[in-house]
Amino acid sequence: MEYNFTIIHRKGALHHVPDALSRSPEGLGNDDETIQKILESKDKWYDKKFRNALRAPDLFPDWRVEEGKLYTHRPSDYISLEMEDLDAWKLVVPRDLRNQVISQCHKLPQSGHLGADKTYHRVYNSYFWPDMYRDIVKFVSSCLVCQKCKTENATPRGLMGRRTVEEPWTTVDADVIGSITPSEAGHCYALVLQYLFTKWVEIFPLRKASGKTIRACVEKEVIFRWGTPRVFFLDNGTEFVNKDIKSLIEATGMKHMTSPKYHPQVNPVERVNRVLKMMLRAFMKSDHREWDIHLQEFRFAYKTAFHSSLQTTPAFINLGREPSSAISLRRKLEGDVEIVPRQPQEWLDRMKRLDILGKTIVHAMNEASNRQAHYYNLPHRQSEFNIGDLVMSRTHPLSSAAKKFSAALVPPVDGPFVI
């Protein structure tokens, strides 16, 4: 033989370097037409790769052209050299077809509207183009269906704010607990009122939670007893949003404020409700019709209890003294104590000191508010919106067996809407 050489078999999957025999061009007849079409393309990167793979395949072994389509060799990082990657050759996608590819790998039922990482790996199994991950992230993040149907994994929006109240008896918060098992007196609801500055609480059992009933109770037990507050803060329940309450607001000149819909925690009286419900459970016996027999004792317990935001009790701020408990071991042991009458001036001086105490309370409440805001804001983030922004609105559907409608299958948000 004229040449001395040894033939060694090499697996095709590992034979990436093209040889002259297997990849000899057959001519430029049809390829010239393809090149002419590509010259008219606006994707210069794709054009350049196509020309290189077509005209100099030996210099670009990881690129090839088959039937007018461009491929690149991109083996998977998860497949070892001992294994053959059957999908190593990826179809290179020009710019004008990339959104179509992403849409097929994201929006179809077989793709499932999954996240950016899963969509990327699905695309990468068959396709390639530069900055592919960035394009996929942008596509998925702007997918309207995903925005409506997916649960937001980010920390909740909105930081804790506060309402400034520096005088007693100016702001009253109200809420209704119920309905509850009818008591022997026919009570099914409890109207709970709290003065925001002093934390003074009033609790009234009601037979009906109607606007007429609540108005009569507020007029009798609040306005004609303690005076007319400046602000009446209510929730959006029908017991507060009606013509009777509206008429009361207009007649007294109070400012009517309501908590945002589906956010009852904004109303501070919700915290009082939680404590009251705990008390009801703690003293409830087998007969639930007796739920209202201790309400006035619970009210006394709350008003005479130390409040961390006030650094004293609501009763002391309002009355200038601590009310005595009806049942007390000390009173039993001490017996009858001679009552020493106090001089009027002594009481006047005592009441003047309440004004000084009020300033101290304002400082204590500000510190408590800052402390509460600190812990509340840790798992929350600031969120700002501007006029013209597109936003989603949460939906609150209710399931209905009669209508064959399941709320769990409805997107949790709707939109977009323009601010």
For 41-50, 219-228, 280-289, 321-330, which range has the lowest pLDDT when averaged over its residues? 321-330
Identify which of 271, 257, 252, 261 has the alpha carbon closest to the alpha carbon of residue 163. 257
Say whether pLDDT at 282 is over 80: yes
343 within some domain: no
C-alpha torsion angle, residues 74, 68, 55, 52 (rounded to 10) = -40
Give the model confidence (pLDDT) of 323-333 as tens digits: 878 777 777 77
Most confident listed range (127-136, 149-158, 224-233, 357-366) = 127-136
Q: Is residue 330 part of a domain?
A: no
Residue in the block written with tokens 């989603």 = 392
Longest dimension (CA), the chain: 135
Indicate if 361 and 213 belong to the same structural domain: yes
- The whole model's pTM is what? 0.65
Contacts of 72 (CB under 8 A, 6+ apart): 49, 62, 63, 89, 90, 92, 128
Contact 251, 221 (CB under 8 A): no
Average model confidence (pLDDT) across the chain:
82
| pLDDT at residue 138 in the model | 95
Same domain? For 108 and 205 the reply is: no
Query: Do 310 and 359 fall within a single domain?
Result: yes
> Do 315 and 293 fall within a single domain?
yes
Please check the confidence at residue 247 and state whether its pLDDT lies above 50. Answer: yes
Enter the tokens of residue 372: 């509460």
- Indicate which CATH number applies to the domain containing 54: 1.10.340.70
Helix (H) / strand (E) element for 140: namely helix 132-141
Residues in the chain: 419
Same structural domain for residues 238 and 301? yes
Asked whether residue 1 is assigned to any structural domain, the reply reads no
The confidence score (pLDDT) of residue 27 equals 38
What CATH number did the domain enclosing 257 receive? 3.30.420.10
Angle ∠(60,65,67) on CA atoms, nearest 5: 170
Only one residue has tokens 């009122």, namely 193
Amino acid letter, residue 11? K
Residues 219 and 106 in one domain: no
Query: Does residue 176 lie within any of the structural domains?
Result: yes
Give me the pLDDT at residue 119, please: 95
Q: Tell me, yes or no, whether 13 lies in a domain.
A: no
**Cβ neighbours of residue 252 closer than 8 Å, sequence gap 6 or more:** 223, 228
Centre a 10 Å sphere on the Cβ of residue 34 and count the other Cβ atoms it contains: 16
Domain assignment of residue 236, yes or no:
yes
The Cβ of residue 206 has, within 10 Å, a number of other Cβ atoms equal to 22
**Joined tokens for residue 24:** 């000899």
**What are the residue ranges of helices labelled H in 178-268?**
211-218, 224-226, 243-252
Kindly report, residue by residue over 69-91, the tens digit of the pLDDT. Answer: 899 998 876 655 555 556 789 99
149-192 per-position pLDDT tens digit? 888 777 878 777 776 666 777 888 999 998 899 999 999 999 99
346 or 403, higher pLDDT: 403
Local structure of 271: helix, strand or coil: helix
Which of these, 123, 154, 150, lies nearest to 136 by C-alpha position? 123
Contact yes or no for 187/249 (Cβ under 8 A): no
Q: Is residue 303 part of a domain?
A: yes
**Stretch among 111-120, 250-259, 262-271 having the lowest mean pLDDT:** 262-271
Instruction: Answer yes or no: do 220 and 133 share one domain.
Output: no
β-pair partners for 257: 233
Average pLDDT in the 3-17 region?
61
Report the alpha-carbon distance of residue 301 to residue 306 in Å, rounded. 10
Distance set, CA 207 to CA 119, 189, 213, 332, 394 (Å): 58, 6, 9, 38, 34
Q: State how many domains the chain has.
A: 3
Do 107 and 224 reside in the same domain of the chain? no
Structure tokens at 412: 């949790």
Same domain for 256 and 108: no
Structural domain of 400: 386-418
